[in-house]
Amino acid sequence: MFELHGYGPLGIAAAGAQTATVRDGAAAFYNPAQLAARKRTSVAVSLYGIVPNLHIDRAANARPEADGGRESQLPDANLGTSVSASFALGERWGRPLAIGVGLFVPLLHFTRLDAVDPATPQFAIHEQLPTRLAVVFGAGYEPFDGVRVGLGAQVLAALDGRAAFVLDTEGRRVVRRTVDTSLNTATAPVASLAWAPTDLVEFGLTWRGAIQIDYSLPIDILFQDAGTVTIEIDGTALYTPASLTGGVGFHEGPWTVSADLQWMRWSRTPPLSAHFAATVELPELDPGEEPGASALRFVTVDPQPGWRDTLVPRLAASWRSDGPGTPSLTAGYAYKPSPIPEQVGYSTYLDSNTHQLGLGGDLGLGDHRFRLSTGLNILADRSTRKDPERDAAGVGDVQSGGTIWTVVLGYSKLY
């Protein structure tokens, strides 16, 4: 969610251009060093609505599901809520110290781990990232005037488990069933710097490590007096690449202009489909064979995505009044090149070059602020032409594109 659309109403309005200028609890994600820039504690709550309006148009000769083809899959609408807080701890070792925390909870689809077959026409990046429970932590410290350093971590949650069944083949009944599940987490580090040489300009630099959920779902089935079936399902989901973001912010009167440039290491993307392996050993069906000779082994071949690294520029401008009510307005833009090469073969990932627009405003009443922001991701129309000799699933040529709207209502309070 944070990477695709932004974190909090201000982050979404600014199209994510927050590395140098962020000041609230969202700094735990954008730049933990900037937590030390605010000298008061703040708490914010936000409600998100995500409405995709994407399309996948197939050629008339595309092979149907009943004939071994693939039906298209589109992202669902979703709701979510986030809570963020930054705590100014005063001076430690004679210098300002602060910590921050943020939490995003999807409300309609709670950390869904889809592993769609690569041949299925789909928006792989936009399919899962808004549907995950995510937590960010950060700490910022100012060892010298205007120089700040920060450390943090991003945490994802996922379910892992194992299942085993014992079946009575003669009585055709389940004798024993065991399911063991556990809630696991994945963690990625965040490190950042901030420098404000004057009151008019400041710089930021944030590195975020790659994060992903590695899942495993083994299933053992024992047929009494017949044999066994062992199924192994594993893979990677909710992948976000490592990134390095540099930002600069300029302040002049009521205006703030910020710009970011983000490098994203999509070239390290692992296979996004589930790896499946099954071993069927039923010697009772062929008693003349040696033990193990009758076993059948089925294993999927997992193609590498072959994605490429991208550079994402972001630009935002904010205006804030010093008058009664202290209203403010923010607008932002980002251009996100697609990391996905032409899909001429088996896979059909359709995420295209994206224009991200943001607009938002807020109203301050004393220490209280009420915010409303909207974001629009415009996925450029993409024409995918398959090589018939490599299109084993008969997907055929595809036209795709569309928009994703995000609306955010937020409230924050200073203490």
For position 286, what pLDDT does the model report? Answer: 56
- Cα–Cα distance between 205 and 291 in angstroms, integer? 61
Spatial CA neighbour of 246 closest among 311, 318, 299: 311
CA distances from 315 to 4, 158, 280, 386 (A): 15, 34, 57, 36
The answer to which of 5-9, 276-280, 292-296, 385-389 has the lowest mean pLDDT is: 292-296
Residue 24 carries which DSSP code? S
CA distances from 136 to 49, 85, 189, 259, 409 (A): 21, 11, 10, 23, 20
Higher pLDDT, 164 or 255: 255
Spatial CA neighbour of 202 closest among 22, 60, 322: 22
Sorted by where each starts, the structural domains of the chain and their CATH numbers stand as 2-158+187-207+242-263+310-414 (2.40.160.60)
For position 158, what pLDDT does the model report? Answer: 63
For position 248, what pLDDT does the model report? Answer: 97
For position 293, what pLDDT does the model report? Answer: 53
Q: How confident is the model at residue 129 (pLDDT cuts 50, 70, 90)?
A: low
Higher pLDDT, 200 or 323: 200
User: For strand 211-216 and strand 219-223, is the pairing parallel, antiparallel, or unpaired?
Assistant: unpaired
- Cα–Cα distance between 355 and 33 in angstroms, integer? 28
For position 113, what pLDDT does the model report? Answer: 63
For position 174, what pLDDT does the model report? Answer: 74
The DSSP-derived string for 273-325 is: SPEEEEEEE-GGGSTTSPTTTT-EEEE----------EEEEEEEEEEE--STT
- Cα–Cα distance between 113 and 323 in angstroms, integer? 48
Q: Which amino acid is at 354?
A: T
Provide the token pair at 17.
Answer: 């251009």
Beta bridge partners of 208: 190, 243
Q: How confident is the model at residue 314 (pLDDT cuts 50, 70, 90)?
A: very high
* Per-residue pLDDT at 369 exceeds 70: yes
**CA-atom Rg of the chain in angstroms:** 25
Task: Give SS3 for 165.
Answer: strand
Q: Which amino acid is at 164?
A: A
CA distances from 203 to 18, 77, 128, 258 (A): 10, 36, 32, 9
The answer to which of 99-113, 170-184, 219-233 has the lowest mean pLDDT is: 170-184
The DSSP-derived string for 286-298 is: STTSPTTTT-EEE
Task: Give SS3 for 224.
Answer: coil
Burial 180-208 (b: 16+ CB within 10 A, else e): eeeeeeeebebbbbbbbeeeeebebbbeb
For position 317, what pLDDT does the model report? Answer: 96
- Cα–Cα distance between 71 and 86 in angstroms, integer? 45
* Per-residue pLDDT at 182 exceeds 70: no
Average pLDDT, the chain: 85
Q: Do residues 100 and 37 lie in contact, with contact meaning Cβ atoms separated by under 8 Å?
A: no
Give pLDDT tens digits for 281-298. Answer: 766 655 555 555 556 777
Give pLDDT tens digits for 34-88. Answer: 999 888 889 999 999 999 999 999 988 888 877 777 888 888 888 899 999 999 8
Higher pLDDT, 379 or 235: 379
Task: Give SS3 for 4.
Answer: helix
* Per-residue pLDDT at 190 exceeds 90: yes
Q: Do residues 163 and 189 lie in contact, with contact meaning Cβ atoms separated by under 8 Å?
A: no
Higher pLDDT, 75 or 159: 75
